[in-house]
């Protein structure tokens, strides 16, 4: 292990802390955090790590291989300079105010300043109870830890703003979980994942302070966040709050556009799961679209209302920003800047979404005619039950003219469809659409080289499909972590052809359509 990582723990140094120093569950008033130590585990063993993240933090190859690494990131030891704590925050869950939530199974170890002067907060998820655990045990299971580890890194390499993941450490201890909340709890292997981000501050940190009428803490949190996490803003400028809120809104818009681009569905977009840095945070019951279904949600808790379905994510993000604006109102004598921030979200999202859609279809811009063509393409993709990722990769790699024979034209897309009857029924319309799409792609105003490059960068070959993650989990549970490592390596280059790994581009197999972990998941997943 490094002789000395450089820690600069500003969150605990500059914000008020909980005067009590125990893990006892309680309401924490007037404080942004509670000091708490991870609960040691029986046998911490490193299952996997991300070498790029390790290097970011300041670890070398010799560090990962040491038993000390597993001890630290399994929760059994601390490095010099670490000051572990759990943060206090609230949130709106499924549209309803839930009061105090906080880090119930996450413990931040400290803020590392790396060799480039970058700040990276290290946070253990599954490291034991905190004052915010309510009735839970503060632990995490292997399946959820592997899913968060792999998806954090997959999203980064896809170009989606996200927190990162350093490691997964198995604990050697079982954890009791009722995966689908149906009364069939089972013991599962436990694990701890180390998450890494410049900041884990959420909308909910500010919501809790305002809900309690603690304007002093609200202002402290806002000033701290601006000074530490938004250094480009002048911390003494009277307009700093407006500038900051605007930045949060536009960053959130960019993040959501990327979600829509790669077919990512977060599954639990509560306000406590929204980062002020515009980062994807808290990977739980997430999923990537297999067949293109705008109404799909991976979260079993959301199966009826579908509040967090794929198509609803832009609107939910706006609603969450409005709740964030509500929380910030005491800082604004004039509410017009808050309204302007929400307007900027809408404007940024619409502009970037249109640019994204143009890139995915290979259009130079999205004029009215091409927008109709794009929407028709998405509608046919849904109607024919086509695979979202494979369809767009097929368009990206299209070579030659579209056949005059409808069946032949559609067959040229390759293994894209999940239902043969639906494909056959949609074949005439799909073939007609392909001909019109190709005509638009080769129109006089198209720089084919530029649009092709845009398609290559917008449409990945590899995503972390739920069934692949579940296969890796099943093997790791049986003692073989090789697929975790192979998936991690593959997902580092999601846009590149990787000979020998074509199986990881395959659409969801039929056996996985309704299999637990492959279709619907719970918040414990």
The mean pLDDT value of the chain amounts to 95
Of 150, 177, 200, which marks where a domain is finished? 200
463 within 8 A of 494, measured Cβ to Cβ:
yes
pLDDT at 306: 95
Task: Pinpoint the alpha helices (H) of 49-158.
Answer: 51-57, 61-64, 67-73, 142-158
The reported pLDDT for the residue numbered 1 is 62
Q: What's the domain count of the chain?
A: 4
**Which H or E element spans position 35?**
strand 33-35
152 and 218 inside one domain? no
Tell me, yes or no, whether 110 and 211 share the same domain.
Answer: no
The domain in which residue 65 lies consists of 10-200
- Assigned domain for 5 exists: no
Q: Are residues 262 and 178 in the same domain?
A: no
Q: Which of 309, 333, 359 is the last residue of a domain?
A: 359
**Percent of the chain at pLDDT above 70?**
98
Is 272 one of the catalytic residues? Answer: yes
Q: Supply the DSSP symbol for 504.
A: G
Tell me, yes or no, whether 257 and 312 share the same domain. yes
Confidence of residue 2 (pLDDT cuts 50, 70, 90): low
With 90 as the cut, is the pLDDT of residue 63 above it?
A: no
Residue range 429-440: mean pLDDT, rounded: 97
Is 299 part of any domain?
Answer: yes
CB 162 within 8 A of CB 155: yes
Coil, helix or strand at residue 490: helix
As a whole number, mean pLDDT of residues 28-54 equals: 97
Whole-angstrom distance between the N-terminal and C-terminal Cα of the chain? 32
- What's the rounded Cα separation, in Å, for the pair 186 and 177? 6
Q: Which residues in 403-440 are b (16+ Cβ under 10 Å) and which e? A: eeebeebbebbeebbbeeebbeebbebbbebbbbbbeb
Question: Binning pLDDT at 50, 70 and 90, where does residue 212 land?
Answer: very high
pLDDT level of residue 429 (50, 70, 90 thresholds): very high
pLDDT exceeds 90 at position 519: no
- At 517, the pLDDT band (50, 70, 90 cuts) reads confident
Give me the pLDDT at residue 415, please: 97
Q: Report if residue 194 sits inside a domain.
A: yes
Say yes or no: 355 and 293 in one domain. yes
Catalytic residue among 18, 272, 290, 406: 272
Q: pLDDT: is 302 or 183 the higher one?
A: 302
Tokens of 137: 């045990």
Whether residue 518 is contained in a domain is answered as no
Pair 221, 171 in one domain: no
Identify the sign of the CA torsion 326, 329, 335, 341: negative
**49 and 171 share one domain:** yes
* DSSP E strands, 129-185: 140-141, 164-177
The reply to whether the predicted model has a pTM over 0.85 is yes
32 within some domain:
yes
> Do 175 and 78 belong together in one domain?
yes
pLDDT digits (tens, 9 = 90+) for 389-419: 999 999 999 988 999 999 999 999 999 999 9
| Of the candidates 401, 417, 432, 249, the residue with the CA atom closest to the CA atom of residue 324 | 249
Question: Are 241 and 382 in the same domain?
Answer: no
Residue 456 within any structural domain of the chain: no
pLDDT at residue number 524: 54
Tell me how far apart the 2 most distant CA atoms of the chain are, in Å.
Answer: 75
What six digits make up the tokens of 251?
């960053």
For residues 378-396, average pLDDT:
98
Residue 425: what pLDDT?
97
| Domain presence at residue 261 | yes
Nearest to 46 by CA among 73, 78, 79, 70: 70
Write out the DSSP string of 214-234: -HHHHHHHHHHHHHHH-TTS-
Regarding predicted confidence, which is higher, 236 or 380? Answer: 380
Whether residue 398 sits in one domain with residue 270: no
8 A C-beta contact, residue 119 and residue 453: no
- Say if residues 290 and 387 touch (Cβ distance below 8 Å): yes
CA dihedral 399, 400, 403, 406 (to 10 degrees): 20
Task: Return the pLDDT at 181.
Answer: 67
Regarding whether 347 and 494 lie in a shared domain, the answer is no
The Cα–Cα gap between 238 and 244 comes to: 11
The single residue listed with the structure tokens 């304007």 is 215
Q: Are residues 52 and 177 in the same domain?
A: yes
Of 399, 418, 446, the domain-final residue = 446
pLDDT in tens, 439-498: 999 998 999 999 999 999 999 999 999 999 999 999 999 999 999 999 999 999 999 999
Position 124 in a domain: yes
Rounded average pLDDT over 109-117 = 97
Going by pLDDT thresholds of 50, 70 and 90, the confidence category of residue 525 is very low
């Amino acid at each position: 292990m490094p002789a000395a990582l450089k820690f600069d723990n500003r969150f605990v140094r500059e914000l008020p802390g909980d005067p009590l120093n125990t893990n006892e569950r309680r309401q924490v008033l007037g404080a942004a955090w509670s000091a708490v130590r991870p609960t040691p585990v029986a046998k911490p063993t490193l299952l996997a790590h991300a070498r790029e993240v390790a290097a970011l933090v300041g670890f070398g190859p010799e560090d990962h291989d040491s038993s000390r690494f597993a001890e630290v990131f399994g929760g059994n030891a601390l490095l010099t300079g670490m000051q572990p704590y759990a943060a206090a925050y609230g949130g709106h869950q499924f549209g309803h105010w839930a009061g105090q939530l906080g880090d119930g199974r996450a413990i931040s170890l400290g803020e590392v300043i790396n060799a480039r002067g970058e700040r990276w907060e290290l946070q253990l998820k599954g490291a034991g109870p905190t004052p915010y655990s309510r009735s839970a045990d503060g632990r995490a299971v292997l399946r959820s830890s592997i899913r968060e580890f792999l998806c954090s890194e997959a999203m980064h390499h896809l170009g989606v703003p996200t927190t990162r993941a350093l490691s997964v450490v198995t604990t050697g201890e079982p954890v009791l979980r009722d995966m689908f909340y149906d009364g069939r709890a089972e013991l599962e292997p436990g694990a701890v994942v180390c998450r890494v981000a410049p900041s884990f501050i959420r909308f909910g940190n500010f919501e809790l302070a305002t809900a309690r009428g603690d304007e002093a803490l609200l202002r402290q949190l806002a000033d701290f966040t601006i000074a530490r996490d938004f250094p480009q803003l002048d911390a003494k400028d009277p307009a700093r709050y407006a500038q900051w809120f605007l930045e949060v809104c536009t960053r959130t818009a960019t993040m959501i556009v990327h979600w829509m681009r790669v077919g990512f569905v977060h599954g639990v977009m509560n306000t406590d799961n929204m980062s002020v840095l515009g980062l994807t945070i808290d990977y739980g019951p997430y999923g990537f679209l297999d067949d293109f279904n705008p109404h799909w949600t991976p979260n079993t808790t959301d199966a009826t209302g579908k509040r967090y379905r794929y198509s609803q994510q832009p609107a939910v993000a706006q609603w969450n920003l409005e709740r964030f604006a509500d929380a910030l109102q005491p800082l604004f004598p004039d509410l017009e800047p808050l309204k302007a921030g929400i307007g900027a979200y809408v404007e940024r999202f619409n502009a970037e979404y249109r640019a994204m859609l143009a890139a995915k279809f290979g259009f130079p811009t999205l004029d009215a005619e091409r927008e109709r063509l794009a929407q028709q393409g998405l509608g046919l993709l849904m109607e024919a039950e086509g695979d979202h990722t494979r369809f767009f990769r097929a368009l990206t790699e299209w070579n030659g003219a579209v056949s005059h024979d409808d069946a032949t034209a559609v067959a040229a897309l390759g293994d894209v469809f999940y239902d043969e009857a639906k494909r056959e029924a949609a074949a005439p319309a799909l073939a007609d659409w392909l001909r019109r799409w190709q005509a638009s792609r080769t129109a006089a105003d198209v720089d084919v080289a530029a649009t092709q490059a845009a398609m290559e960068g917008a449409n990945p070959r590899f995503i972390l499909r739920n069934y692949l993650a579940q296969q890796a989990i099943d093997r790791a549970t049986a003692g073989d972590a090789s697929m975790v490592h192979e998936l991690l390596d593959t997902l580092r280059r999601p846009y590149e052809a990787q000979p020998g790994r074509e199986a990881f581009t395959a659409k969801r197999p039929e056996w996985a359509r309704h299999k637990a972990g492959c279709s619907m998941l719970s918040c414990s997943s």
